[in-house]
Amino acid sequence: MCGAELDSTPMMAEREIDLEIHSPITPIHGPELEAQGISLWMKRDDLIHPFISGNKWRKLKYALRDARRLGRKRLVTFGGAWSNHLLATACAGAMFGFRTLGFVRGDESASNPVLSLCRLFGMELVYVDRTRYRDKDSVYESHCGRTPNQTLDYRIDEGGFGPHALEGCAEIIGELMGPGDSLPPFDHIFCACGTGATLAGLAKGLATSATHTPQQPILHGIPVLRSADFLIPQIRTLYPHAHFEWHTEYHFGGYAKSSPELESFIRQFCADTGILIEPVYTGKLCFGVFDMIRKGAFPRGSRILILHSGGLTGMLGMHQRF
């Protein structure tokens, strides 16, 4: 752009809320896959952006556009101390011209590299103890509930959960389509579940693209937390018609819990593929898929897709183990 054009650009030009999506579908090879006659693929949403990672961009995209449409100036959201969502919101806010405020579960001692990155992207962090954190409405009200903030702030739920997340995640299915917009050429699609919004979005994407093919892929969710059945009604509030299989045996003791078996699987997978997975979400997801394949859960010739939902920060918190 030449100088004259620069000068004529309004100072407060609003930046378009979009990212160029680079999320190829890559094949995964391995002796156990060949032994079972399975072809395995990975949708690389981890490559969308280093900090606005994977499904966090999918979930933020329409929320941010809504915030812009309403003329809001600041994004306010919630997260744990290692939250991929806080970091994504901080970075996206900086990129698209919003200020950001993050309520962090815990006290100042929770400081870590992820929160440092949030701060670096200009996010204001407010630490909230675990008891108060449970009542998000009251936390929000006490900081942001008064005018004039009401008209300036845009609240986004923890993990980006909500109807905007549903729309963003549903778009993944469109990127899987085969030639001539036929249904995705996969028999099974797997994703990790924290809040379940990604799964709900995939379910919606599949249902709304299933026009005239009988061969509907089966959607599978692997929750990464213990006793995760409470997520099912939560998923149905976002998308009532969601059809999926639900695999509750791969939580490894609960959210952000790990085990030597999981860590050894992750080590092997990273070394074999050059694709980084981590213990909180994608490690459990891949472990589950490989475990089912090894146990012969899918007929020979099955085509399976794993959604790599991103999330490098889970690794930052546990790097001492690797």
Ligand X SMILES: *Cc1c(COP(=O)(O)O)cnc(C)c1O
102, β-bridge pairs? 77, 125
36 binds ligand X (CB under 6 A): no
State in angstroms the smallest separation of the CB of 297 from ligand X: 22
How far, in Å, are 81, 94, 149, 279 from residue 306 at the CA level?
Answer: 27, 30, 41, 16
Query: Which range of residues in 36-44, 51-59, 174-182, 265-273 is near ligand X by CB under 6 A?
Result: 51-59
- Rg, C-alpha atoms of the chain: 20
State in angstroms the smallest separation of the CB of 248 from ligand X: 14
State in angstroms the smallest separation of the CB of 95 from ligand X: 18
Interface of this chain with ligand X, residues 189 to 208, rule: CB under 6 A: 192-198
Interface of this chain with ligand X, residues 288 to 307, rule: CB under 6 A: none
State in angstroms the smallest separation of the CB of 262 from ligand X: 15
User: Under rule CB under 6 A, how many of the chain's residues touch ligand X?
Assistant: 18
DSSP conformation class of 304? E
62 binds ligand X (CB under 6 A): no
For 70-183, where are the alpha helices, taking DSSP H only? 84-96, 113-120, 130-134, 136-144, 149-152, 163-174
State in angstroms the smallest separation of the CB of 294 from ligand X: 23
Pick from 84, 121, 86: nearest CA to 317 = 84
User: Nearer Cβ to ligand X, position 36 or 305?
Assistant: 305
State in angstroms the smallest separation of the CB of 272 from ligand X: 20
258 binds ligand X (CB under 6 A): no
For 70-135, where are the alpha helices, taking DSSP H only? 84-96, 113-120, 130-134
Interface of this chain with ligand X, residues 133 to 162, rule: CB under 6 A: 159
State in angstroms the smallest separation of the CB of 121 from ligand X: 17
User: Nearer Cβ to ligand X, position 36 or 238?
Assistant: 238
**What's the chain's length in residues?**
322
Among 38, 309, 315, 318, binds ligand X (CB under 6 A): 309
168 binds ligand X (CB under 6 A): no
Of all residues in this chain, which one has the CB nearest to ligand X in the complex? 311
Cα atoms in the Cβ-side hemisphere of radius 13 Å centred on 71: 3
Q: Are 209 and 189 in contact (CB under 8 A)?
A: no
77 binds ligand X (CB under 6 A): no
Pick from 198, 228, 203, 233: nearest CA to 218 = 203
281 binds ligand X (CB under 6 A): yes
State in angstroms the smallest separation of the CB of 166 from ligand X: 10
State in angstroms the smallest separation of the CB of 252 from ligand X: 15
What is the crossing angle of helices 84-96 and 55-69, to 10°?
40
Query: Which range of residues in 53-61, 116-124, 134-142, 206-214 is near ligand X by CB under 6 A?
Result: 53-61
96 binds ligand X (CB under 6 A): no
Q: Are 37 and 294 in contact (CB under 8 A)?
A: no
How far, in Å, are 7, 61, 62, 144 from residue 71 at the CA level?
Answer: 25, 16, 14, 16
Give CA–CA dist 186/293, Å, rounded. Answer: 15
Q: Are 97 and 124 in contact (CB under 8 A)?
A: no
51 binds ligand X (CB under 6 A): no
Give CA–CA dist 112/118, Å, rounded. Answer: 10
At 15 the three-state DSSP class reads coil
Amino acid at 199: L
User: Nearer Cβ to ligand X, position 36 or 158?
Assistant: 158
311 binds ligand X (CB under 6 A): yes
- Positions touching ligand X (CB under 6 A) are 54-56, 84-85, 159, 192-198, 281-282, 309-311
